[in-house]
Structure 1
Amino acid sequence: MAPLKQKRWNFFAAVALLLALVLGVTGISQLNFSTEPRTDSLQLSSAPRHQVLRADRTELDGWSSLRSSPPGQESFRLDASDADKALYRVQVGIYSTNTYDLDLSVPSFAANGYLWMSWGDALQQYLDKNNLGLEDRIILVNELLSDADPGLRAIGAAERMPDGSYYQLFSYIGRFYIDRASFRHFPFITVSLPIVLEADDVDGIFEYGNLRFVPDVENSGVGLFSGIIGWLKRSWSIAEYRHTYATNFALGGAPAAYSTVVYDIAFGTSSWSAFWRLILPLVVVMAMVLLVFKVRPDEQDARAGIPITVLLTLVFLQQTYRDELPQLPFLTFLDQVYVIAYVVTLLAFVLVIWIGRRYHELEQLPKGHDYDVMAQRLHTMDEIWPLTVVALSSVSVALCWFTLPPGS
Structure 2
Amino acid sequence: MTKVRRRRKWNILAIASVVLAALLSIIGVTSLNVDQVPGRDSLRLSSASRALTTSADRLPRDGWSSQRGESLSGSEIQADIESLDDAKYHVKIGVYSNSTYDLDLSIPSFSSNGYVWMRWKQPLQDYLEANNTDLQEHISLLNALLSDADPVLHPVQDKPAVLSDGTYYQLYTYVGRFYIDSATFKRFPFLTISLPIAIEADDVAGGLGYTKLRFEPDIRNSGMGLYAGTGIIGWLNRGWSIAEYRHNYATNFGLGGLDRDYSLIVYDITFGTSSWSSFWRLMLPLLVVMVMVLLVFKIRPDEQDARAGIPVTVLLTLVFLQQVYRGELPDLPFLTFLDLVYVIAYVITLFAFVLLVWIGRRYADMERMPLGEARDNLSIRLELLDEVWPLSMVLFCSVAVVTAWVLIPPGS
- State TM-score, norm by structure 2: 0.96
Q: Supply the distance in 1 between the matched residues of 2:132 and 2:255 (Cα, whole angstroms).
A: 26
Task: Report the counterpart of residue 138 of structure 2 in structure 1.
Answer: 137
Deviations 1:87-127 (CA, angstroms, capped at 9, x unpaired): 11111000000100000000000000000001111211121
Contact 1:52 1:235 in 2 (8 A): no
One-letter amino acid of the structure 1 residue matched with residue 272 of structure 2? G
Structure-1 separation of matches of 2:138 and 2:364: 81
How far the C-alpha of 1:207 sits from its partner, in A, is 1.2
Q: Is the 8 A contact 1:53 1:235 kept in 2?
A: no
Distance in 2 separating the partners of 1:351 and 1:57:
50
Match of 1:178 in 2: 180
> In 1, are the aligned partners of 2:46 and 2:245 still within 8 Å (CA)?
yes
Contact 2:43/2:70 (CA < 8 Å) preserved in 1? no
CA-atom RMSD in angstroms: 1.5
Report the Cα distance in structure 2 between the residues aligned to 1:124 and 1:53, rounded to whole angstroms: 34
Do residues 12 (structure 1) and 16 (structure 2) align? no
Instruction: Please give the secondary structure, in 2, of the residue aligned with 1:203.
Output: coil
Distance of 1:56 and 1:187 partners within structure 2: 25
Q: Indicate the residue corresponding to 2:321 in structure 1.
A: 317
Deviations 1:119-146 (A, max 9, x none): 1112111211222111111010000001
Distance 1:54 1:243, change over 3 A: closer
- Structure 1 CA distance for aligned equivalents of residues 95 and 336 of structure 2: 33
User: Structure 2 CA distance, aligned partners of 1:168 and 1:69?
Assistant: 31
Instruction: Provide the residue aligned with 1:334 in structure 2.
Output: 338
List 4+ stretches of structure 1 deviating above 4 A: 52-57
* Deviates most, 390-399 or 4-13: 4-13
Alignment check: 8 A CA contact 1:52 1:236 kept = no
| Among candidates 240, 248, 254, match of residue 258 of structure 2 | 254
* Corresponding position: 1:277 with 2:281: yes
70-79 or 230-239, larger mean C-alpha shift: 70-79
Question: Secondary structure of 2:147's partner?
Answer: coil
Tell me if 1:195 matches 2:197: yes
Superposed, 1:1-400 pairs within 5 Å as 1-51=2-52, 58-156=59-157, 157-226=159-228, 227=230, 228-400=232-404
Q: Distance in 2 between matches of 1:346 and 1:212?
A: 60
Letter in 1 for 2:161: E
Deviations 1:301-357 (A, max 9, x none): 000000000000000000000000000000000000000000000000000000000
Q: Is the 8 A contact 1:116 1:169 kept in 2?
A: yes
Once residues 297 and 303 of structure 1 are traced to their aligned partners in structure 2, the CA distance between those partners, rounded to angstroms, is 8
Q: How far off its partner does 1:8 sit?
A: 1.6
Q: Per-residue deviation at 1:82?
A: 0.6
Q: Is the 8 A contact 2:249 2:259 kept in 1?
A: yes
Cα distance in 2 for partners of 1:220, 1:150 equals 20
CA contact (8 A) 1:53 1:234 kept: no
Q: C-alpha distance in 2, partners of 1:34/1:88?
A: 42
Displacement of 1:55 in angstroms is 8.2
Question: Structure 2 vs 1, CA of residues 54 and 380 (structure 1 numbering), >3 Å: closer, same or farther?
Answer: farther
- Structure 2 gaps of 5+ residues are none
Encode CA deviations 1:174-229: one digit per residue, 9 max, x unaligned.
00000000000000000000000001114321111111100000100011110221
**1:86 is aligned with what amino acid?**
A
Q: What are the superposed Cα offsets for residues 39-97 of structure 1, whole Å, 9 maximum, x if unpaired?
A: 31111000000036998893522110111343224221110101111111111000000
For the Cα contact (< 8 Å) 1:86–1:209, is it kept in 2? yes
Q: Deviations over 1:364-392 (max 9, x none)?
A: 11111101110000000000111011000
Q: 1:407 to 1:100 in 2, by over 3 A?
A: same
Residue identity opposite 1:331 in structure 2: L
DSSP-derived class of the 1:146 partner = coil
Q: Give the direction of change, closer, same or farther, for the CA distance of 1:115–1:175 in structure 2 (3 Å limit).
A: same
Give the 3-state SS of the residue equivalent to 2:160 in structure 1.
strand
TM-score w.r.t. the length of structure 1 is 0.97
Which secondary structure state, in structure 2, belongs to the residue aligned with residue 105 of structure 1? coil
